[in-house]
């Protein structure tokens, strides 16, 4: 049985393929986790994740993660992991590009009823 050759993921090309904000796109998987890219601008909703941490890596732009314990400012190449259960809200004054990693099926708002549908690109 023939298998296809492994391929790298071009994050810049994936990000260039869509324009909407706050709509994570799955670009790969890793041990039951979705690896996603997302464009953000403005304020997201306050939320928490009862069962998992929340991983943010800034690829381009600036992101503030507002938390109940204080704010974390991130620039390109910087990451922050929001601990499980902590209320937080990502905010970007200008468009920023973010890499997210979370267990498959995790709702981005912490609530499946209000979460964005995550498409694979």
In a domain, 13, yes or no: no
Please indicate, yes or no, if residue 102 is contained in any of the structural domains.
yes
Please report whether residue 78 resides in a domain.
yes
pLDDT score of 119: 79
In a domain, 14, yes or no: no
Question: Residue 75 is part of which domain span?
Answer: 27-120
Burial class (CB in 10 A: 0-12, 13-18, 19+), 119: exposed
Which regions of the chain does DSSP assign to beta strands (E)?
A: 25-30, 33-43, 54-60, 63-67, 70-74, 79-82, 88-103, 119-120
What's the pLDDT score for residue 1? Answer: 60
Kindly give the parts of the chain with pLDDT less than 70: 1-2, 109-110, 115
DSSP string, 27-62: EEEETTEEEEEEEEEEE---B--SSS-EEEEEEES-
Residue 105 lies in a domain: yes
pTM of the model: 0.89
CATH of the domain at 51: 2.60.120.10
The count of domains in the chain is: 1
Residue 1 lies in a domain: no
Q: Is residue 94 part of a domain?
A: yes
75 within domain boundaries: yes
Q: Which of 113, 96, 101 is nearest to 43 (CA)?
A: 96
| pLDDT tens-digit series, residues 65-98 | 999 999 999 999 999 999 999 999 999 999 999 9
């Amino acid at each position: 049985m023939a298998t296809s050759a492994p391929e790298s993921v071009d994050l810049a090309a994936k990000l260039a393929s869509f324009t909407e904000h706050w709509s994570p796109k799955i670009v790969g998987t890793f041990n039951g986790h979705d690896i996603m890219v997302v464009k953000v601008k403005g304020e997201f909703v306050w939320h928490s994740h009862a069962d998992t941490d929340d991983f943010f890596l800034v690829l381009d732009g600036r992101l503030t993660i507002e938390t109940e314990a204080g704010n974390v400012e991130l620039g390109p190449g910087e990451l922050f992991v929001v601990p499980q259960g902590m209320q937080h809200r990502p905010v970007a004054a200008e468009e920023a590009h973010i890499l997210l990693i979370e267990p498959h099926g995790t709702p981005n708002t912490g609530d499946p009823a209000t979460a964005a549908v995550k498409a694979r690109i």
